[in-house]
Amino acid sequence: MKSLFFLILILILGFKFYSIEFLATILVISFLIFFHELGHFLAAKSLGVKVEIFSIGFGKSLLEFNFKNTIYRLSTLPLGGYVKLKGQDDMRPGFENLDPDSYSILHPLKKIYILLAGPFFNLFLAFILYIVIGNLGIQKLSAQIGTIAPNSAAQIAGMKPDDIILSINGIKIQSFDEISKHLNLQPLNIVVDRNGEKINFNLTPKIGQGYNDFGQLVSKAQLGVSPKGTDILVFHTGLQSLNYALDESIKASTLIIKGIIKLITGEVEAKNLGGIITMANITSKAAQTSFTILLLITALISINLGILNLLPIPMLDGGHILFNIYEIIFRRKVPQKTFEYLSYGGMAILLSLMLFATFNDILRALQ
């Protein structure tokens, strides 16, 4: 009853602040959790482990059916999900079952295989979504120059407003955001389109101040140009879509890992940490903008979910993987009491992070 009341409250607040687009948040979260748990499910099944429950959501069951000794369940709280394997229960860390179809009797390497399957499925899903995005086309700022800073490398070389940058050192440029990736403090050859005429420029960018992906002020090589503001659709089709999907997946994964490191080291303030409200805000606005943007946000959240689940925190896949690596190295399991203390400690850490992220969300909403 409590979980059903909580679901109704979530829906009322969601529709109040985000209208019908809030459904996009529910669908995205549910789909990503489903795909993550599907990875665990298929890996467990491939090893003959009995899957007792496959649930989308937590709390009271809204709909369920039994198929081949597995209960498939849709629960009231759509903000998560789980697969319950025979012989494995996060709420009872020391629980074991020694039946032939139990998770408990598996070799640590087989357990790691099951644990890795969930995060891998999230990363694989993002890769597929990026292929779709590349073929649908992404709206970006064109590489047409709007303004040129005084005494900048571009001005000294003779570049002018309305020039369209076609290539840098022979590499094709399709959008303005691609330009910075090819800039360094070495001489460059830049080809521009000026009223239908191709013009070559040889110049060396100057060092300047700019912002990185985390909003930090850093020194970087710059041409000294800003975009015109015209939009174009950039496509990545055929085999090129595979390269695009791989590049974007690696870039997003690297960005998330760097962000985690910066949070831990204090380079990025903890107040930037966002929770479910931030996710709802982003996905709802993306749904209002375009289907492609919604797919892009879904891919990013999927990679985020995959990477975060690999963190070595007990209760997460990464924590269980760490326990199994310990067993492989020392040829014995983590002591029972230690395992339980660490598991409950991991649960407390995750709960604290969720509450802190939600608190940040509320503060941002009130500003």
**Known catalytic residue at 267:** no
**Could you give the C-alpha distances from 134 to 56, 179, 284, 289, 336, in angstroms and in order?**
29, 19, 22, 17, 49
pTM assigned to the model: 0.85
Fold of 139-234: Pdz3 Domain (2.30.42)
Q: What are phi and psi of 39, to 5 degrees?
A: -60, -50
Domain locations in the chain?
2-137+274-366, 139-234
What single string gives the DSSP state of each residue in 188-219? EEEEEEETTEEEEEEE-PEEEEEE-TTS-EEE
Catalytic-role residue among 37, 96, 197, 327: 37
**pLDDT score recorded for residue 197:** 94
Are 272 and 357 in contact by the 8 Å Cβ rule? The answer is no
pLDDT at 95 over 90: no
Percent of the chain with pLDDT over 70: 82
189-214 pLDDT, tens digit each: 999 999 999 999 999 999 988 777 76
Q: Which two tokens stand for residue 301?
A: 């959240």
Asked which of 5-14, 75-84, 211-220, 350-359 is least confident by mean pLDDT, the reply is 5-14
Percent of the chain with pLDDT over 90: 48
**pLDDT score recorded for residue 5:** 62
